[in-house]
């Protein structure tokens, strides 16, 4: 027993050896929460307070569950395989398999993952002859899952208008389809388990008696239904704030300062509710950090103290202050990326492992500039928890359209986008086209004219779209061509109606930036007018550049590589050196935070998570100007930088605090507008464009080669036009 408890500090020891009671353990970043959880289980079993079958341990990832099982196997001389340790979904699946009859399921029920669920919803809409543009499948999936995670069935869902009423009906039809087919989605696993325990008293009493201790990891990430499920097993009644003696004891470990998944339904309020509803006598705080040096922790503490309503803790370490936090202010996002990669090269020369260097960013689209610099200098890298920029679905779709402009005979590109976004060209039509192409020995594009019937008409419409784009974009600069492709192909509209489409839209905008940067760096193809689709022209060169970057420097399995990831993906990880990039208003904190309740506080928690990933060295970087939608925007430094004590920081460049970029007032979202273009045109003036017709200038920004105006063309919509190429004339 002394060996089991020997390596615990006093608060950890107090948590591990608590008597059988409900408890909330506030475990700060790097404070040894996994050690506390596993040692608590081992201590309960070793002291004879409970057998292995009386433990229910809940984690949020399968990786965490396997790690817990491995640690317990090392601590206990017993077989831990039969213990109930797993994720909420895994444990509920196990429960429903054992009680499928009571749950109204077949013994062989199948689980739909997210892709399967989306396919099932698409099939439902098709069978019901529902317009999937009015009721987008992915949006309907989120509607259904959000209700399930709140414990709301279709029969209880409220409809405030005719549109919502129709979605509720579709939710009901989806429930019937799943029941008929014997399948359950992820949200259904938990909801059906909860409902079964709620209505079946003998079964509920059985599990309340069986599980004497429930241990929950990452409690701050639980949603409302998960918390309700835990309360049922703990014997908590809904009519009074007392706990039945028959229920299990909840040992919840979490950190309210690291609650960053509100967009997934996580309820930070569950921690306070647990404290109140279970009348917890005290909260144990694990504040000693075993990961980071003191300056990093002091910065994290100062930052998170700005949030209101925290349960409160203060991280500290015995490791010493360590190095100051380095702050770098670049003039452009490209200069920022170059600084980061140069610093990485220096760290590697000093002997640091590539595996121990992480580049963090708020938005996926930011990786593109960093990837380009790593590629340019030949530094192997890996995008953790995601795809490299040019491998992302939306980028490959846009590039496929561009490839068709350059070479209509590209069958791979044709097949990828002929029905994306969906335009009524089904699999049978594509198969018929392939058979025709094979018979006449031509490309799919050329074979389209030989295809008859409805299939031929649908494909012909797609061909006309490509031909129109080829004709109308021939003399446009490459960035404007890509912008037109994204708009006219329907890609932008497709992702606009997708609840999770914002990242993809940001990536598509970043593709425009990539083209602009490519032309600026490539002396053979200056940003000028000319035949865009000519052999050896700027389009062909850019497509070759994209292919080369996609094929190089993504490290192979087992190879050491610099780690790139979003801050969300970095949670739970740690590195010797961390670069937090893009610290600008509107980017981090994200501009959407201002529109959401407590949005800024969640962004601050996200920044806190980013800071506490670093062990030894932390870099904070930002740029005065950043490319956005192919145009230069002026930025303000992130407000989070002002919340850090200056004595902890070291500026590694002189900065340009007195430049126009730093003093110019901010526009909405934190982006700063450049001065109005000095071009003889004025806001409110009527102008004529060769293709869009007559419109009125409503806004302007930039100067010189970067000057552009926003024009309202009435029925033609609002357009941003680069003055260098738009050839606007007074009307």
Rounded to whole angstroms, the Cα distance separating 553 from 698 reads 45
Rounded to whole angstroms, the Cα distance separating 328 from 650 reads 9
- Would you call 591 a catalytic residue per the annotation? no
Rounded to whole angstroms, the Cα distance separating 371 from 338 reads 11
CA dihedral 613, 619, 625, 629 (to 10 degrees): -30
CA dihedral 116, 121, 122, 125 (to 10 degrees): 160
Q: 266 and 221 in contact (C-beta within 8 Å)?
A: yes
Select which of 38, 222, 258, 366 is catalytic: 258
Select which of 12, 33, 221, 394 is catalytic: 33
- Would you call 258 a catalytic residue per the annotation? yes
Q: Residue 722: how many CA atoms within 13 Å on its side-chain side? A: 20
Rounded to whole angstroms, the Cα distance separating 18 from 9 reads 14
Helix or strand holding residue 460 (H, E): helix 453-473
527: left (phi over 0), alpha (psi -120 to 50) or beta: beta
137: left (phi over 0), alpha (psi -120 to 50) or beta: alpha
Strand ranges for 283-392 from DSSP E: 283-286, 325-332, 357-361, 381-383
Please state, in angstroms and as integers, the Cα–Cα distance from residue 56 to each residue in 80, 112, 261, following that order.
12, 25, 24
Rounded to whole angstroms, the Cα distance separating 163 from 650 reads 55
Q: 483 and 513 in contact (C-beta within 8 Å)?
A: no
Give me 286's structure tokens.
Answer: 């694990």
Pairing of strands 729-730, 686-689: antiparallel
Give me 598's structure tokens.
Answer: 């407590």
Residue 689 forms beta bridges with which residues? 693
- Sign for the CA dihedral angle at 167, 263, 493, 456 comes to negative
- Would you call 217 a catalytic residue per the annotation? yes
Per-position DSSP letters for 241-278, written without gaps between them: S-B-TTSPEEEEEE-GGG---GGGT--THHHHHHHHHT
CA dihedral 74, 79, 83, 88 (to 10 degrees): 50
- Would you call 218 a catalytic residue per the annotation? yes
Please state, in angstroms and as integers, the Cα–Cα distance from residue 160 to each residue in 136, 168, 171, 173, 596, following that order.
19, 10, 15, 19, 21
Rounded to whole angstroms, the Cα distance separating 147 from 204 reads 24
- If 0-12 CB within 10 Å is exposed, 13-18 middle and 19+ buried, where does residue 609 land? buried
- Would you call 34 a catalytic residue per the annotation? yes
Q: Output helix, strand, coil percentages for the chain, rounded to the nearest 5.
A: 50, 15, 35
Rounded to whole angstroms, the Cα distance separating 522 from 374 reads 18
Select which of 34, 177, 179, 493 is catalytic: 34
Strand ranges for 355-503 from DSSP E: 357-361, 381-383
Select which of 185, 218, 483, 509 is catalytic: 218
- If 0-12 CB within 10 Å is exposed, 13-18 middle and 19+ buried, where does residue 668 land? exposed
Phi and psi at residue 158, to the nearest 5°: -90, 145
Rounded to whole angstroms, the Cα distance separating 284 from 26 reads 6
Give me 560's structure tokens.
Answer: 């050491």
Select which of 504, 613, 626, 708 is catalytic: 613
- Would you call 581 a catalytic residue per the annotation? no
Query: CA 493, 494, 497 angle in degrees (round to 5)?
Result: 80
Select which of 149, 185, 188, 217 is catalytic: 217
Neighbours of 727 (CB within 10 A): 12
Pairing of strands 249-254, 84-87: unpaired
Catalytic residues: 33-34, 217-218, 258, 613
């Amino acid at each position: 027993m002394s060996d089991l408890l020997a390596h615990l500090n006093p608060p950890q020891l107090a948590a591990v050896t608590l008597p059988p009671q409900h408890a909330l353990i506030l475990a700060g970043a790097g404070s040894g929460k996994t050690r506390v959880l596993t040692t608590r289980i081992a201590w309960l079993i070793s002291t004879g307070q409970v057998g292995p079958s009386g433990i229910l341990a809940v984690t949020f990832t399968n990786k965490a569950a396997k790690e817990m099982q491995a640690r317990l196997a090392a601590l206990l001389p017993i077989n831990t395989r039969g213990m109930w340790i797993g994720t909420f979904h895994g444990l509920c699946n196990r429960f429903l398999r054992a009680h499928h009859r009571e749950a109204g399921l077949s013994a062989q029920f199948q689980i739909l993952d997210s892709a399967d669920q989306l396919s099932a919803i698409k099939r439902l809409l098709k069978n019901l002859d529902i317009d999937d543009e009015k009721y987008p499948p992915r949006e309907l999936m989120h509607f259904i899952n959000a209700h399930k995670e709140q414990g709301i069935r279709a029969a209880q869902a409220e409809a405030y208008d005719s549109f919502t009423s129709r979605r509720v009906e579709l939710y009901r039809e989806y429930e019937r389809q799943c029941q008929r087919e014997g399948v359950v989605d992820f949200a259904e696993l938990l909801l059906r388990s909860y409902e079964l325990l709620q209505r079946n008293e003998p079964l509920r009493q059985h599990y309340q008696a069986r599980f004497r201790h429930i241990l929950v990891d990452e409690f701050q990430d639980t949603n409302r239904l998960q918390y309700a499920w835990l309360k049922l097993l703990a014997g908590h009644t809904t009519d009074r704030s007392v706990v039945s003696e028959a229920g299990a004891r909840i040992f919840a470990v979490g950190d309210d300062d690291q609650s960053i998944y509100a967009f997934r339904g996580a309820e930070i309020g569950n921690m306070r509710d647990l404290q109140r509803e279970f009348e917890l006598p005290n909260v144990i705080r694990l504040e000693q950090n075993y990961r980071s040096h003191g300056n990093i922790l002091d910065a994290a503490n100062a930052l998170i103290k700005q949030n209101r309503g925290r349960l409160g803790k203060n991280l500290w370490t015995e490791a010493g202050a360590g190095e100051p936090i380095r702050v770098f202010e670049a003039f452009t996002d490209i200069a920022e990326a170059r600084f980061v990669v140069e610093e990485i090269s220096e760290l590697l020369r000093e002997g640091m492992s590539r595996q121990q260097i992480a580049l963090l960013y708020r938005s996926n689209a930011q990786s593109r500039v960093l990837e380009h610099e790593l590629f340019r200098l030949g530094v192997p890298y890996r995008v953790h928890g995601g795809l490299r920029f040019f491998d992302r679905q939306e980028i490959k779709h846009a590039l496929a359209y561009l490839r068709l402009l350059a070479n209509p005979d590209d069958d791979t590109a044709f097949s990828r986008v002929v029905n994306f976004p969906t335009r009524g060209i089904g699999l049978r039509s594509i198969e018929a086209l392939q058979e025709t192409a094979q018979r006449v020995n031509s490309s799919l594009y050329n074979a389209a004219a030989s295809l008859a019937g409805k299939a031929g008409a649908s494909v012909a419409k797609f061909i006309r779209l490509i031909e129109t784009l080829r004709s109308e974009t021939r003399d446009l600069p490459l960035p404007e061509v890509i912008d037109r492709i994204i708009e006219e192909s329907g890609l932008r509209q497709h992702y606009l109606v997708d609840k999770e489409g914002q990242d993809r839209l940001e990536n598509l905008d970043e593709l425009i930036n990539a083209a602009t940067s490519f032309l600026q760096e490539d002396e053979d193809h200056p940003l000028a007018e000319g035949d865009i689709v000519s052999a050896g022209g700027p389009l062909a060169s850019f497509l070759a550049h994209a292919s080369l970057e996609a094929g190089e420097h993504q490290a192979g399995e087992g190879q050491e590589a610099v780690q790139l990831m979003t801050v969300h993906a970095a949670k739970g990880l740690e590195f010797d050196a961390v670069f937090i990039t893009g610290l600008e208003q509107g980017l981090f904190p994200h501009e959407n935070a201002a529109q959401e309740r407590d949005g800024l506080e969640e962004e601050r928690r996200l920044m806190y998570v980013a800071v506490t990933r670093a062990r030894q060295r932390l870099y904070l970087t930002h740029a005065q100007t950043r490319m956005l939608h192919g145009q230069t925007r002026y930025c303000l430094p992130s407000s989070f930088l002002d919340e850090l004590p200056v004595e902890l920081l070291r500026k590694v460049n002189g900065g340009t605090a007195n430049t126009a970029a730093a003093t110019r007032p901010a526009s909405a979202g934190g982006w700063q507008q450049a001065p109005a273009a000095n071009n003889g045109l004025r806001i409110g003036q009527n102008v004529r464009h060769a293709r869009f017709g007559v419109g009125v200038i409503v806004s302007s920004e930039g100067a010189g080669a970067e000057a552009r105006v926003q024009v309202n063309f009435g029925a033609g919509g609002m357009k941003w036009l680069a003055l260098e190429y738009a050839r606007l004339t007074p009307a």
